Protein backbone atom coordinates (compact mmCIF):
# COMPACT_ATOMS: atom_id res chain seq x y z
CA UNK A 1 0.00 0.00 0.00
CA UNK A 2 1.66 3.16 -1.20
CA UNK A 3 -0.33 6.28 -2.03
CA UNK A 4 2.63 8.51 -2.87
CA UNK A 5 3.84 9.81 -6.21
CA UNK A 6 7.39 9.07 -7.24
CA UNK A 7 10.01 11.65 -8.18
CA UNK A 8 9.66 11.04 -11.92
CA UNK A 9 5.91 11.62 -11.73
CA UNK A 10 6.37 14.87 -9.87
CA UNK A 11 9.10 15.99 -12.25
CA UNK A 12 6.95 15.32 -15.31
CA UNK A 13 4.09 17.28 -13.75
CA UNK A 14 6.49 20.11 -12.93
CA UNK A 15 7.66 20.17 -16.55
CA UNK A 16 4.08 20.47 -17.77
CA UNK A 17 3.32 23.16 -15.19
CA UNK A 18 6.30 25.24 -16.35
CA UNK A 19 5.46 24.72 -20.00
CA UNK A 20 1.88 25.88 -19.50
CA UNK A 21 2.86 28.76 -17.23
CA UNK A 22 5.16 30.04 -19.99
CA UNK A 23 2.99 29.30 -23.00
CA UNK A 24 -0.58 29.47 -21.69
CA UNK A 25 -0.55 32.54 -19.47
CA UNK A 26 -3.39 35.06 -19.12
CA UNK A 27 -1.65 37.14 -21.80
CA UNK A 28 -1.87 34.20 -24.17
CA UNK A 29 -5.55 33.70 -23.35
CA UNK A 30 -6.29 37.36 -24.00
CA UNK A 31 -4.42 37.45 -27.29
CA UNK A 32 -6.20 34.30 -28.47
CA UNK A 33 -9.62 35.64 -27.53
CA UNK A 34 -8.93 38.92 -29.32
CA UNK A 35 -7.98 36.95 -32.41
CA UNK A 36 -10.94 34.59 -31.98
CA UNK A 37 -8.44 31.72 -31.95
CA UNK A 38 -8.78 28.42 -30.12
CA UNK A 39 -5.45 26.94 -31.08
CA UNK A 40 -1.83 28.00 -30.74
CA UNK A 41 0.41 26.07 -33.09
CA UNK A 42 3.64 27.08 -31.34
CA UNK A 43 2.32 25.91 -27.99
CA UNK A 44 1.11 22.64 -29.46
CA UNK A 45 4.56 22.06 -30.97
CA UNK A 46 6.13 22.66 -27.55
CA UNK A 47 3.67 20.21 -25.96
CA UNK A 48 4.55 17.58 -28.56
CA UNK A 49 8.29 18.26 -28.12
CA UNK A 50 8.01 17.74 -24.39
CA UNK A 51 6.58 14.28 -24.96
CA UNK A 52 3.22 14.92 -23.33
CA UNK A 53 1.33 13.53 -26.32
CA UNK A 54 3.32 10.28 -26.25
CA UNK A 55 2.87 9.42 -22.59
CA UNK A 56 0.06 6.88 -22.90
CA UNK A 57 1.06 5.41 -26.23
CA UNK A 58 2.78 2.03 -26.07
CA UNK A 59 6.51 1.96 -26.68
CA UNK A 60 5.86 -0.13 -29.79
CA UNK A 61 4.06 2.89 -31.24
CA UNK A 62 6.88 5.24 -30.34
CA UNK A 63 5.21 6.22 -27.09
CA UNK A 64 6.52 6.41 -23.54
CA UNK A 65 4.30 3.62 -22.20
CA UNK A 66 3.44 5.57 -19.06
CA UNK A 67 0.31 5.04 -16.98
CA UNK A 68 -2.85 6.94 -16.11
CA UNK A 69 -1.45 8.25 -12.82
CA UNK A 70 1.30 9.97 -14.79
CA UNK A 71 -1.09 11.46 -17.30
CA UNK A 72 -3.65 12.51 -14.68
CA UNK A 73 -1.02 14.85 -13.25
CA UNK A 74 -0.57 16.40 -16.70
CA UNK A 75 -4.34 16.71 -17.17
CA UNK A 76 -4.53 18.54 -13.85
CA UNK A 77 -1.94 21.04 -15.10
CA UNK A 78 -3.88 21.41 -18.36
CA UNK A 79 -6.95 22.30 -16.30
CA UNK A 80 -4.95 24.74 -14.19
CA UNK A 81 -3.95 26.53 -17.41
CA UNK A 82 -7.39 26.24 -19.07
CA UNK A 83 -5.43 24.77 -21.96
CA UNK A 84 -7.27 25.35 -25.25
CA UNK A 85 -5.75 22.48 -27.24
CA UNK A 86 -7.24 18.99 -26.84
CA UNK A 87 -4.17 17.43 -25.24
CA UNK A 88 -6.30 15.41 -22.86
CA UNK A 89 -8.94 14.32 -25.39
CA UNK A 90 -6.36 13.40 -28.01
CA UNK A 91 -3.32 12.10 -26.14
CA UNK A 92 -5.20 10.87 -23.08
CA UNK A 93 -8.18 9.20 -24.73
CA UNK A 94 -8.36 9.00 -28.53
CA UNK A 95 -4.76 8.27 -29.53
CA UNK A 96 -4.31 5.35 -27.10
CA UNK A 97 -7.67 3.96 -28.29
CA UNK A 98 -6.64 4.24 -31.93
CA UNK A 99 -3.28 2.65 -31.09
CA UNK A 100 -5.15 -0.26 -29.54
CA UNK A 101 -7.64 -0.68 -32.39
CA UNK A 102 -5.49 0.23 -35.41
CA UNK A 103 -1.82 0.39 -34.44
CA UNK A 104 -0.76 1.06 -38.04
CA UNK A 105 -3.07 4.00 -38.64
CA UNK A 106 -1.08 6.80 -40.38
CA UNK A 107 -2.40 9.45 -37.97
CA UNK A 108 -0.35 7.79 -35.25
CA UNK A 109 2.81 8.33 -37.30
CA UNK A 110 2.57 12.11 -37.23
CA UNK A 111 3.60 13.43 -33.83
CA UNK A 112 1.88 16.79 -34.38
CA UNK A 113 -1.43 15.16 -35.33
CA UNK A 114 -4.39 15.08 -32.97
CA UNK A 115 -6.98 12.34 -32.88
CA UNK A 116 -10.58 13.12 -31.97
CA UNK A 117 -13.27 10.83 -30.66
CA UNK A 118 -16.99 11.20 -31.26
CA UNK A 119 -18.35 9.35 -28.28
CA UNK A 120 -22.06 8.59 -28.09
CA UNK A 121 -22.16 10.22 -24.62
CA UNK A 122 -21.09 13.59 -26.01
CA UNK A 123 -23.19 15.64 -28.43
CA UNK A 124 -20.18 17.48 -29.84
CA UNK A 125 -16.45 17.01 -30.47
CA UNK A 126 -13.98 19.77 -29.59
CA UNK A 127 -11.43 20.69 -32.26
CA UNK A 128 -12.73 17.98 -34.61
CA UNK A 129 -11.76 20.16 -37.59
CA UNK A 130 -8.07 19.87 -36.76
CA UNK A 131 -8.03 16.14 -36.10
CA UNK A 132 -6.08 13.85 -38.40
CA UNK A 133 -8.56 11.11 -37.59
CA UNK A 134 -11.88 10.84 -35.80
CA UNK A 135 -12.86 7.73 -33.92
CA UNK A 136 -16.53 6.84 -34.24
CA UNK A 137 -18.85 4.26 -32.80
CA UNK A 138 -22.11 2.78 -34.03
CA UNK A 139 -24.01 -0.16 -32.53
CA UNK A 140 -20.94 -1.46 -30.74
CA UNK A 141 -18.75 -1.19 -33.82
CA UNK A 142 -15.72 1.07 -33.98
CA UNK A 143 -14.84 3.15 -37.02
CA UNK A 144 -12.25 5.70 -37.92
CA UNK A 145 -12.53 8.46 -40.51
CA UNK A 146 -10.66 11.55 -41.58
CA UNK A 147 -12.52 14.85 -41.07
CA UNK A 148 -13.06 15.26 -44.83
CA UNK A 149 -15.06 12.00 -44.90
CA UNK A 150 -17.56 13.14 -42.25
CA UNK A 151 -19.83 16.18 -41.98
CA UNK A 152 -18.68 18.64 -39.33
CA UNK A 153 -21.21 21.25 -38.32
CA UNK A 154 -19.92 24.01 -36.04
CA UNK A 155 -21.81 24.08 -32.74
CA UNK A 156 -20.96 27.37 -31.06
CA UNK A 157 -20.40 27.00 -27.33
CA UNK A 158 -19.74 29.39 -24.47
CA UNK A 159 -16.14 28.31 -23.80
CA UNK A 160 -14.00 30.47 -26.13
CA UNK A 161 -11.37 27.74 -26.32
CA UNK A 162 -13.59 24.76 -27.09
CA UNK A 163 -14.19 24.85 -30.83
CA UNK A 164 -17.10 22.42 -31.07
CA UNK A 165 -18.58 20.38 -33.91
CA UNK A 166 -21.42 18.01 -34.42
CA UNK A 167 -20.26 15.01 -36.40
CA UNK A 168 -22.52 13.27 -38.93
CA UNK A 169 -21.17 10.34 -40.83
CA UNK A 170 -22.02 7.33 -42.88
CA UNK A 171 -20.46 3.99 -42.15
CA UNK A 172 -19.71 3.63 -45.86
CA UNK A 173 -17.27 6.55 -45.62
CA UNK A 174 -15.44 5.29 -42.54
CA UNK A 175 -13.06 2.44 -41.92
CA UNK A 176 -14.43 -0.29 -39.69
CA UNK A 177 -12.10 -1.29 -36.88
CA UNK A 178 -13.93 -4.42 -35.76
CA UNK A 179 -16.73 -5.05 -33.34
CA UNK A 180 -17.55 -6.69 -30.02
CA UNK A 181 -13.98 -7.45 -29.01
CA UNK A 182 -13.32 -3.72 -29.03
CA UNK A 183 -15.84 -3.18 -26.25
CA UNK A 184 -13.14 -3.31 -23.61
CA UNK A 185 -11.06 -0.67 -25.39
CA UNK A 186 -14.04 1.65 -25.72
CA UNK A 187 -14.91 1.13 -22.07
CA UNK A 188 -11.35 1.96 -21.07
CA UNK A 189 -11.45 5.06 -23.28
CA UNK A 190 -14.58 6.29 -21.52
CA UNK A 191 -13.01 5.67 -18.13
CA UNK A 192 -9.86 7.49 -19.17
CA UNK A 193 -11.90 10.42 -20.49
CA UNK A 194 -13.89 10.63 -17.26
CA UNK A 195 -10.75 10.28 -15.15
CA UNK A 196 -8.77 12.91 -17.02
CA UNK A 197 -11.78 15.25 -17.03
CA UNK A 198 -11.77 14.84 -13.26
CA UNK A 199 -8.05 15.56 -13.13
CA UNK A 200 -8.59 18.67 -15.23
CA UNK A 201 -11.36 19.57 -12.80
CA UNK A 202 -8.83 19.56 -9.95
CA UNK A 203 -6.69 22.02 -11.88
CA UNK A 204 -9.64 24.22 -12.84
CA UNK A 205 -10.76 24.31 -9.22
CA UNK A 206 -7.34 25.19 -7.84
CA UNK A 207 -6.81 27.96 -10.39
CA UNK A 208 -10.21 29.46 -9.59
CA UNK A 209 -9.32 29.49 -5.88
CA UNK A 210 -5.83 30.85 -6.53
CA UNK A 211 -7.16 33.70 -8.68
CA UNK A 212 -9.65 34.61 -5.96
CA UNK A 213 -6.97 34.47 -3.24
CA UNK A 214 -4.71 36.81 -5.23
CA UNK A 215 -7.56 39.23 -5.75
CA UNK A 216 -8.77 39.08 -2.14
CA UNK A 217 -5.30 39.97 -0.88
CA UNK A 218 -5.15 43.09 -3.07
CA UNK A 219 -8.69 44.41 -3.20
CA UNK A 220 -9.40 46.78 -0.31
CA UNK A 221 -12.81 47.68 1.09
CA UNK A 222 -13.61 49.30 4.41
CA UNK A 223 -9.88 50.00 4.64
CA UNK A 224 -8.78 46.36 4.64
CA UNK A 225 -8.09 43.62 2.08
CA UNK A 226 -11.40 41.80 1.51
CA UNK A 227 -9.54 38.52 2.12
CA UNK A 228 -9.31 39.42 5.80
CA UNK A 229 -13.10 39.10 6.19
CA UNK A 230 -14.40 35.74 7.31
CA UNK A 231 -17.27 35.73 4.83
CA UNK A 232 -14.70 35.79 2.02
CA UNK A 233 -12.30 33.40 3.75
CA UNK A 234 -15.01 30.83 4.31
CA UNK A 235 -16.10 30.80 0.66
CA UNK A 236 -12.58 29.96 -0.40
CA UNK A 237 -11.85 27.56 2.45
CA UNK A 238 -14.98 25.60 1.52
CA UNK A 239 -13.85 25.49 -2.11
CA UNK A 240 -10.42 24.25 -1.00
CA UNK A 241 -11.92 21.51 1.18
CA UNK A 242 -13.76 20.14 -1.85
CA UNK A 243 -10.49 20.04 -3.80
CA UNK A 244 -8.65 18.28 -0.98
CA UNK A 245 -11.23 15.48 -0.89
CA UNK A 246 -11.52 15.12 -4.64
CA UNK A 247 -7.76 14.80 -5.23
CA UNK A 248 -7.20 11.44 -3.49
CA UNK A 249 -10.24 10.00 -5.25
CA UNK A 250 -8.83 11.06 -8.62
CA UNK A 251 -5.43 9.58 -7.82
CA UNK A 252 -6.93 6.32 -6.54
CA UNK A 253 -9.12 6.10 -9.64
CA UNK A 254 -6.05 6.60 -11.82
CA UNK A 255 -4.06 3.95 -9.99
CA UNK A 256 -6.73 1.25 -10.40
CA UNK A 257 -8.33 2.19 -13.74
CA UNK A 258 -6.68 -0.73 -15.50
CA UNK A 259 -8.71 -3.25 -13.52
CA UNK A 260 -11.84 -2.36 -15.48
CA UNK A 261 -14.22 -3.89 -12.98
CA UNK A 262 -17.26 -2.62 -11.10
CA UNK A 263 -15.01 -1.21 -8.38
CA UNK A 264 -12.61 0.68 -10.62
CA UNK A 265 -15.49 2.04 -12.71
CA UNK A 266 -17.27 3.32 -9.60
CA UNK A 267 -14.11 5.05 -8.41
CA UNK A 268 -13.59 6.77 -11.76
CA UNK A 269 -17.20 7.92 -11.62
CA UNK A 270 -16.77 9.15 -8.06
CA UNK A 271 -13.71 11.12 -9.15
CA UNK A 272 -15.55 12.59 -12.13
CA UNK A 273 -18.47 13.78 -10.02
CA UNK A 274 -16.57 15.30 -7.11
CA UNK A 275 -13.67 16.87 -9.00
CA UNK A 276 -15.99 18.70 -11.36
CA UNK A 277 -18.27 19.74 -8.53
CA UNK A 278 -15.17 21.11 -6.85
CA UNK A 279 -14.33 23.00 -10.06
CA UNK A 280 -17.83 24.39 -10.46
CA UNK A 281 -18.05 25.42 -6.79
CA UNK A 282 -14.60 26.99 -6.89
CA UNK A 283 -15.37 28.91 -10.07
CA UNK A 284 -18.60 30.29 -8.66
CA UNK A 285 -16.94 31.16 -5.33
CA UNK A 286 -14.16 32.86 -7.26
CA UNK A 287 -16.62 34.97 -9.26
CA UNK A 288 -18.37 35.96 -6.04
CA UNK A 289 -15.11 36.93 -4.35
CA UNK A 290 -14.13 39.00 -7.39
CA UNK A 291 -17.47 40.82 -7.18
CA UNK A 292 -18.46 42.75 -10.30
CA UNK A 293 -14.92 42.23 -11.64
CA UNK A 294 -15.61 38.50 -11.59
CA UNK A 295 -18.56 39.05 -13.86
CA UNK A 296 -16.46 40.86 -16.44
CA UNK A 297 -14.84 39.32 -19.49
CA UNK A 298 -11.56 40.99 -18.60
CA UNK A 299 -11.05 38.90 -15.46
CA UNK A 300 -10.30 35.32 -16.42
CA UNK A 301 -12.39 33.42 -13.88
CA UNK A 302 -15.14 32.85 -16.44
CA UNK A 303 -12.82 30.52 -18.39
CA UNK A 304 -12.80 28.12 -15.45
CA UNK A 305 -16.55 28.33 -14.92
CA UNK A 306 -17.18 27.51 -18.57
CA UNK A 307 -14.70 24.64 -18.80
CA UNK A 308 -16.09 23.16 -15.58
CA UNK A 309 -19.59 23.33 -17.05
CA UNK A 310 -18.50 21.49 -20.20
CA UNK A 311 -16.53 18.79 -18.44
CA UNK A 312 -19.21 18.22 -15.80
CA UNK A 313 -21.73 17.24 -18.43
CA UNK A 314 -19.56 15.54 -21.06
CA UNK A 315 -18.11 12.03 -20.79
CA UNK A 316 -21.12 10.99 -18.73
CA UNK A 317 -23.41 13.28 -16.77
CA UNK A 318 -23.40 13.19 -12.98
CA UNK A 319 -26.47 10.93 -13.19
CA UNK A 320 -24.64 8.51 -15.51
CA UNK A 321 -21.73 8.29 -13.10
CA UNK A 322 -23.92 8.10 -10.03
CA UNK A 323 -25.58 5.03 -11.54
CA UNK A 324 -22.18 3.36 -11.87
CA UNK A 325 -21.46 4.05 -8.21
CA UNK A 326 -24.89 2.71 -7.31
CA UNK A 327 -24.08 -0.52 -9.11
CA UNK A 328 -20.99 -0.90 -6.96
CA UNK A 329 -22.70 0.14 -3.73
CA UNK A 330 -25.84 -1.94 -4.06
CA UNK A 331 -24.44 -5.13 -5.61
CA UNK A 332 -21.09 -5.58 -3.90
CA UNK A 333 -20.02 -6.01 -0.30
CA UNK A 334 -19.74 -2.69 1.52
CA UNK A 335 -17.73 -1.59 4.52
CA UNK A 336 -14.33 -0.37 5.56
CA UNK A 337 -12.46 -3.47 4.37
CA UNK A 338 -13.86 -2.92 0.85
CA UNK A 339 -12.12 0.38 0.08
CA UNK A 340 -9.68 -1.25 -2.32
CA UNK A 341 -11.90 -4.18 -3.23
CA UNK A 342 -11.56 -5.86 -6.60
CA UNK A 343 -13.51 -8.41 -8.55
CA UNK A 344 -13.25 -11.91 -7.12
CA UNK A 345 -12.68 -13.28 -10.61
CA UNK A 346 -9.69 -11.05 -11.21
CA UNK A 347 -8.20 -11.96 -7.85
CA UNK A 348 -8.42 -15.64 -8.74
CA UNK A 349 -6.79 -15.06 -12.11
CA UNK A 350 -3.97 -13.21 -10.44
CA UNK A 351 -3.41 -15.94 -7.89
CA UNK A 352 -3.34 -18.59 -10.60
Partner 1 sequence: MDLSYTPEQQAFRAEVRDWLARHVPAEPLEHFDATRAGFEAHRQWENTLKSGDWGMVTWPVEYGGRGLDLIQWLIFEEEYYRAGAPGRVNQNGIFLLGPTLIEFGTHEQKQRFLPPMASGEEIWAQAWSEPQAGSDLAGVRATATRDGDDYILNGHKIWSSRAVFADWAFGLFRAPGSERHKGMSLIFFPLDAPGVTVNPIRKINGHVGFAEIFLENVRVPAFNRLGDEGQGWHICMATAGFERGLMLRSPARYQVAAAKLAALWQERKADADPMLEAEVIRAHMNAEAYALSIYQTASRLMAGAKIGPEASTNKIFWSELDIHLHRTALSILGPEAELLPPPGAQDWLDDYIFALAGPIYAGSNEIQRNIIAERMLGLPR
Cβ neighbours for 224, distance < 8 A, ≥ 6 positions apart: none
84-143: contacts with partner 1 (CB under 8 A)? none
Residues 310-329 that bind partner 1 (CB under 8 A): 322, 325-326, 329
Are the C-beta atoms of residues 174 and 143 closer than 8 Å to each other? yes
The SS3 call for residue 137 is strand
Q: What angle do CA 340, 346, 351 make, to 5 degrees?
A: 100
Nearer to partner 1, 263 or 307 (CB): 263
Which listed residue (136, 251, 282, 301) binds partner 1 by CB under 8 A? 251
Among 52, 273, 282, 285, binds partner 1 (CB under 8 A): 273
- Judged by CB under 8 A, the residue of 25, 217, 221, 296 near partner 1 is 217
Radius of gyration of the chain (CA): 20
Cβ(86)–Cβ(126) under 8 Å? yes
25-54 residues near partner 1, rule: CB under 8 A: none
Choose, by CB under 8 A, the member of 3, 34, 139, 351 that binds partner 1.
3
Per-residue x/- marks for partner 1, 174-213, CB under 8 A? -----------------------------------x---x
Question: Does position 223 bind partner 1 by CB under 8 A?
Answer: no
DSSP assignments along 219-240, one per residue: -EETTEEGGGSHHHHHHHHHHH
Q: How many residues bind partner 1 (CB under 8 A)?
A: 51
Contacts of 330 (CB under 8 A, 6+ apart): none
Rounded Cα–Cα distance for residues 91 and 61 (Å): 13
Which region, judged by CB under 8 A, interacts with partner 1, from 16-24, 43-51, 136-144, 221-229?
A: 221-229
Q: Which of 5, 46, 64, 155 binds partner 1 (CB under 8 A)?
A: 5
What's the CA gap between 238 and 258, in Å, rounded?
32
Q: Determine which residue in the list 76, 130, 270, 306 makes contact with partner 1, applying CB under 8 A.
A: 270
Instruction: Rule CB under 8 A: choose which of 233, 288, 313, 346 binds partner 1.
Output: 233
Torsion of CA 315, 66, 184, 193, to 10 degrees: 0
Q: Tell me if 1 contacts partner 1 by CB under 8 A.
A: yes
227 binds partner 1 per the rule CB under 8 A: yes
Stretch that binds partner 1, among 50-58, 89-97, 197-205, 268-276 (CB under 8 A): 268-276
- Does 245 interact with partner 1 (rule: CB under 8 A)? yes
Please give the C-alpha separations between residue 77 and each of 10, 29, 80, 185, 319, in angstroms, as whole numbers. 12, 16, 5, 26, 27
Position 262 contacts partner 1 (CB under 8 A) = no
Closest CB 315 distance from partner 1, rounded Å: 18
Cα 213 to chain centroid distance, Å, stands at: 24
**CA dist., res. 258 & res. 282, Å (int):** 30
- How far is residue 238's CA from residue 249's CA, in Å, rounded to a whole number? 18
Q: Is 65 in the site for partner 1 (CB under 8 A)?
A: no
Q: Which residues bind partner 1 (CB under 8 A)?
A: 1-6, 9, 69, 209, 213, 216-217, 224-225, 227-228, 230, 232-234, 236-238, 240-241, 244-249, 251-252, 255-256, 267, 270, 273-274, 322, 325-326, 329-330, 334-340
Amino acid sequence: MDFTLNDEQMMFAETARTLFADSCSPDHWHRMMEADAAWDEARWAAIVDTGLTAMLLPESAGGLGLCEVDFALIAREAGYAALPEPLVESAGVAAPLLAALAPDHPALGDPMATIAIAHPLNPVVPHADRAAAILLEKDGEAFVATPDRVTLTPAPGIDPFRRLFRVDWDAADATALGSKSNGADWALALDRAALFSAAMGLGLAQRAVDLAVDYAKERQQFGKPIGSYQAVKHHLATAQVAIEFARPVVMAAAADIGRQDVHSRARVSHAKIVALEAADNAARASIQVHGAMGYSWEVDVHLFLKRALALSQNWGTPAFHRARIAERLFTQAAGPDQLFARDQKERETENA
